[in-house]
Structure 1
């Protein structure tokens, strides 16, 4: 019996995550007085890594007549600087016609203008098609790095300083390092060649603004993300439900005012983006249909390449294109996508309704009627208690689109992985978020293997995956080795998936697929990756429910509100309206690091109602601390 117990403890110790190379390097740097220069060192090292990736192959290299995504991006620079805006979305659509929103076109115009200034041959209309000179390739690679440095990297840095604001400087620097070195985006943008970091950077910046209470700026940032790539719609249900829920929290007066402002600022930003196609700046209002028809290409079909989503995986058994017309498939995809993200929309809305306090504090109107705007000014800058729901809602919404929506590309796995990595960046190594984050990240990169192999990026693929796992202290081989006895279902799933991934890579090197099944390995890739993404989708729903229970599980008793005096200051009103606690605790409530940190003992509930205003505020603060501590213990509660 003692031997069995000793063996079990040995296995558990072996299955614990290792101390990552990144954590040890951050600790070493801080001890040697390099903490102030660490961000610059990380930035410089990542730029060097991206330049090295630029030496590898890219999409469509030496493959006429279309040349791949690299040529598409270069061609858009060519047409935007030589043609008027009314021809951007109609010129020679058979050769990489522009099919992204206007902000992509404006970025292409900026890059094309710089390229034309340096060497007009790089972007000469029509005659430059397929150009692959060394200097033109260096310019194209540099343009991705430049916009990445302008938008994406600052967004990550601000994220690590705001959402992880209560964590140590070491933890913040480690989170920044892990996010910067994530292999999926590096391989797609700086290897395969695209500009996804611009879209993701604007979305992360929107989250940063939401976390500090600047909702209008957050809305503008998200519209810019949508204006760059329409795939940002994957996040729209989560962000939309969060903003509407905040309006519910604020109440009919303040909430209605915020709702109106959000609507106006969103509409104004969209109008500015599409201004060249709107009369009187365009000759006809019909021209507005040109970019819209190109942005939503329903004519392409349910899917093109092998994608690790529901439609492609189930197509192995159910040949959808034979059984249903395209119109039916479009509606079915829309319905399944809606059902996929509906739970988190409901959870967010219900949490906001349960936490609303504006109907319990009519004194707010009395304060405002006296001309005192202190409560309104305070409410604009306070964090909402439903903010911790937002990253999980983003994961659920984007994963629902990836799994169920119409015409999905394998590269769009970047969208669900982004919120997962933001959650992962603040997770402790023994938490549930850490396990799902490591597994989801590795499977996401693996799901793009057929694309990366075709682009000649096999060596960067393996090198970056090994580097990132080393940085975070995750060892897939060790996970497989300690599969039995497993310490959690996530551990068992990870062991099986990693074993399948390694086996497929080994088999692909020694066994050629039969002529009858040329897509054998891509299909097996889909069948391995899709179940993991489905589990992540279900896990995000579970986490949304858990967070909702945590932040609404200790409501303030109605009899306490009724006994509070009618003579309250604006500060007291604002305090009760948002269940405000001291600033440090408010920041802790929105800190992903604290939300996934160690278990903290839940604060006891104060049930006695005081007769004075100060006693009421103290009781409300104690209750919210209990809710915050419930969120902090969320990672430990793996089931409701």
Structure 2
């Protein structure tokens, strides 16, 4: 089969996958939606009904506008289509408004903007090494990657049930990554700068972009041993990058700087008073820290080492963590989380600077930056795990070691999202969707790397199987017990702590792989 014929066939199955997942999203329109639905409806109303000067001051609803300006303009553009469905949704005073027309519009807006994600997924598939594409279509890296991205379980439930717009934002990120693989550095820099001005959570991965572009684009040549040739540093290329980034940020924040509102905008983007953890503990280091503090306080009281009256209690005991002080362990400040985050990503960034290893090295650093920020960041949302899972999907079809890490991270990270869908009618749906995605991931990656041996060790496999009884306990058994009335936070804490072990282990394994010589490992296999 020649190259043209193969690409034509690939286009056929990719379109089938894209259409299939889009139809699946349409079937999810009537499902439960979270408070994020009202968040975005309120932002539609704010941007449509009020002048720009009041966007970041409006506080009628508790769900104030707290995304960067590009996302505000995105909502503004959507609002002109929204008024064709139901103008009532665009009134700021109509809090918690959710007519059938409003639901239909907001669901369709997510589905249609996901077209950008579909395009980005196609570009990522074109960017990976296609040397092994001469096998059955179901075992091709491009086919497997297409399913891992287009049918990603986390995106399906977070965007199309829980309700958010992660799809098109992830599309911009993946398109930017694809452009780096295609050596279109300036376009990649432009896309990432635009992404930062849509949602500032992507600051997590900014160090990977900054170091890689400076190292691999601004330096036009290296010495034979891979060290830098400072004489080859291009001021013109650095200037080009700076102009692009400054242009994007000027367009985004310029109007608010002109109106003297930059401090107000920044206070909305970085609300440090929200507390160490989100309402449901993200499965990270601080979940383990919180659980340890809780266990130590209980043991201290039981052993009469502590006075129960002296134990500091807070919303933590209800599973809804906002601002609180730990009972036994030192309380954590935003500065402490920032230091921990910087220390967690520093080795990967330094490694990228010293030995870039091309786009694949950049991608590993990107995932490590995302995971480091997820593990140690302040007020991390559980949904932020997708920031690491999606780009890791690209590495998973290129390396057996990365495939094993992906299986652990994706499985634990996706199951940690289960508490977002807490209504009974969504229980069978989320279990079925995750089971299908997980079975495909394991089966397809095992088939792809069958010559490499086992992707997971015995203890890793045992840990993943442990998610099954955990889910049975938290979703079915525990709600039937009397403990549910007195200790309702236990299922959330168990899920968060158990999944935090898997996420942390994946982070450590990925770090170990960064400091292993892939070329040497490849020669050894040969």
Structure 1 length normalisation: TM-score? 0.68
Q: Are 2:459 and 1:459 equivalent residues in the alignment?
A: no
Match of 1:337 in 2: 341
1:292 to 266, 269, 274: 266
Flag structure 1 segments of 5+ consecutive residues without an equivalent: 1-29, 60-67, 353-384, 479-486, 551-626
Describe how 1:362-381 pairs up with structure 2 within 5 A: none
Match of 1:504 in 2: 470
Q: Are 2:84 and 1:110 equivalent residues in the alignment?
A: no
Give a deviation string over 1:90-138, Cα, whole Å, max 9, x none: 10165210011111111111111111134312323323x2222222211
Q: Secondary structure at the match of 1:388?
A: helix
Describe how 1:222-621 pairs up with structure 2 within 5 A: 222-246=192-216, 247-248=218-219, 250=221, 251-279=230-258, 282=259, 285=260, 287-305=261-279, 306-318=281-293, 321-322=325-326, 329-351=333-355, 385-427=357-399, 431-454=400-423, 457-474=426-443, 490-508=456-474, 509-511=476-478, 512=481, 513-546=483-516, 549-550=517-518
TM-aligned CA distance change 1:221 to 1:34, over 3 Å: closer
TM-aligned CA distance change 1:326 to 1:193, over 3 Å: farther
Flag structure 2 segments of 5+ consecutive residues without an equivalent: 222-229, 295-323, 447-452
2:127 to 162, 181, 185: 162
1:69 to 36, 48, 64: 36
Q: Are 2:20 and 1:54 equivalent residues in the alignment?
A: no
Shift of 1:210: 1.2
TM-aligned CA distance change 1:258 to 1:456, over 3 Å: farther
The whole-number CA distance in structure 2 between the counterparts of 1:119 and 1:442 is 39
Shift of 1:432: 2.4
Shift of 1:473: 4.6
Of residues 220-229 and 451-460 in structure 1, the stretch that sits farther from structure 2 once superposed is: 451-460
TM-aligned CA distance change 1:633 to 1:452, over 3 Å: farther
Contact in 2 for aligned 1:199/1:226 (Cα 8 Å): no
The whole-number CA distance in structure 1 between the counterparts of 2:401 and 2:337 is 31
Contact in 2 for aligned 1:89/1:294 (Cα 8 Å): yes
Contact in 1 for aligned 2:393/2:406 (Cα 8 Å): yes
TM-aligned CA distance change 1:161 to 1:391, over 3 Å: same
The whole-number CA distance in structure 2 between the counterparts of 1:291 and 1:517 is 39
Aligned length: 467
The whole-number CA distance in structure 1 between the counterparts of 2:262 and 2:329 is 29
Structure 2 length normalisation: TM-score? 0.82
Shift of 1:394: 1.0
The whole-number CA distance in structure 1 between the counterparts of 2:355 and 2:163 is 41
Contact in 1 for aligned 2:276/2:332 (Cα 8 Å): no
Match of 2:297 in 1: none
The whole-number CA distance in structure 2 between the counterparts of 1:475 and 1:199 is 27
TM-aligned CA distance change 1:517 to 1:96, over 3 Å: same
Contact in 2 for aligned 1:302/1:326 (Cα 8 Å): no
The whole-number CA distance in structure 2 between the counterparts of 1:238 and 1:146 is 30
The whole-number CA distance in structure 2 between the counterparts of 1:219 and 1:412 is 22
1:132 to 77, 98, 109: 98
2:62 to 69, 89, 95: 95
Contact in 2 for aligned 1:77/1:109 (Cα 8 Å): yes
TM-aligned CA distance change 1:632 to 1:109, over 3 Å: farther
Q: Secondary structure at the match of 1:315?
A: helix
Describe how 1:168-179 pairs up with structure 2 within 5 A: 168=133, 170=137, 171=140, 172-179=142-149
Shift of 1:35: 4.5
Give a deviation string over 1:54-76, Cα, whole Å, max 9, x none: 221111xxxxxxxx110101110
Higher relative contact order (CA 8 A, sep 6+): 1
The whole-number CA distance in structure 2 between the counterparts of 1:183 and 1:224 is 26
Which structure 1 residue ranges, 4+ long, deviate > 6 Å from structure 2?
Answer: 323-327
TM-aligned CA distance change 1:214 to 1:36, over 3 Å: closer
